[in-house]
Amino acid sequence: MTTNLRYLTTKWKYLTQHIAWKKSPLLVMLRGGIWSIYCFLKIPKTIKLDKSGILFYLSPKFKNTGATGIYLLREDYEPELQYLQKVLAPGKVFVDAGANSGIFTLVASKLVGDSGKVLSFEPAAETYPILDHNIEINEMNNVKAFHAAIAEKPGKTRLYHINNAPNSYSLGRDDQLCSFEEVPQLTLEDVFSQEKIERFDLIKIDVEGAEELVLRGGQSLIKKMKPHIIFEMTAHGPKRLGLERNGAWNLLQEWGYDFFIMNQNGQLKSITSPRLRNIIAIPK
């Protein structure tokens, strides 16, 4: 099976099991056809998410950017978006580590309102302007975006372009020929000190294997404030950085967290062993 065929087969299986497909397969298929045309003609698109009223700019790239999933699935894009509604309310604080083009940032901004705060981190030169544009067109004054990576120590670091994909980045690399860009690197503890923020309620960490490093750079805050945490577990990401695959899980377990996964209907299921997917960690 060729790489492209394998990619399409995997994506088709995922799509047909998704709640948005089950709600309206014809609508999802129609959106897929329309989005294919936009991508072929290289025409960007700004959509409106019905539930929240958020405007969302999408770059016309079909693969490996997240744009296709958001165009097809809208606010059902990832079930963990529903978890934001369970935790966030006016006045609360959300951190988006690895914001990409900003779907979690924008939904959180709406939920926490003018009295709340969102800190959003995205290091990639190609992706950050899209995040910034999405914040601007929604006039979200409660969001502060950082064009930087977030990890365990401040400084500068290399952000590698994995497989030369248009939007697949990592602080580690698979091979010596991998291209990269140099980016600033911050820690949660330094940012909270500089911004004079005294608490946070929820953090989403999607940083291609560096989740453990983000946690280590904010461990005093996390131990003290006990935020809810959404983090991604992948097979290859931690290996690129010389980290254990279960490093983030093990840290949070040590710090007194229980673990859950969320199905597409928004229901939580307790788990006792790591899974390669998005995990929700809740303080005991």
Q: Please write the tens of the pLDDT for every residue from 113-164.
A: 999 999 999 999 999 999 999 999 999 999 999 999 999 999 999 999 887 5
CA dist., res. 109 & res. 86, Å (int): 14
pLDDT tops 60 at residue 230? yes
What's the predicted TM-score (pTM) here?
0.94
SS3 168: coil
pLDDT tops 70 at residue 2? no
What is the helix (H) or strand (E) element at residue 88, kind and residue range? none
CA dist., res. 83 & res. 73, Å (int): 17
pLDDT tops 60 at residue 84? yes
CA dist., res. 161 & res. 180, Å (int): 6
- Name the residue ranges covered by the structural domains of the chain: 1-76, 78-283
Name residues whose C-beta falls within 8 Å of residue 12's C-beta, 6 or more positions apart in sequence.
none
pLDDT tops 60 at residue 48? yes
CATH number belonging to domain 78-283: 3.40.50.150
CB-based contact 150:121 (threshold 8 Å):
yes
Rounded to a whole number of angstroms, the distance between the first and last alpha carbons of the chain is 46
pLDDT tops 60 at residue 66? yes
pLDDT tops 90 at residue 58? yes
Name residues whose C-beta falls within 8 Å of residue 251's C-beta, 6 or more positions apart in sequence.
212, 215, 216, 219
In degrees, to the nearest 5, what angle opens at C-alpha 250 toward C-alphas 248 and 256?
105
Tally the residues of the chain. 284
Phi, psi of 158 (to 5 degrees): -95, 135
| pLDDT tens digits, one per residue of 255-271 | 999 999 998 888 999 99
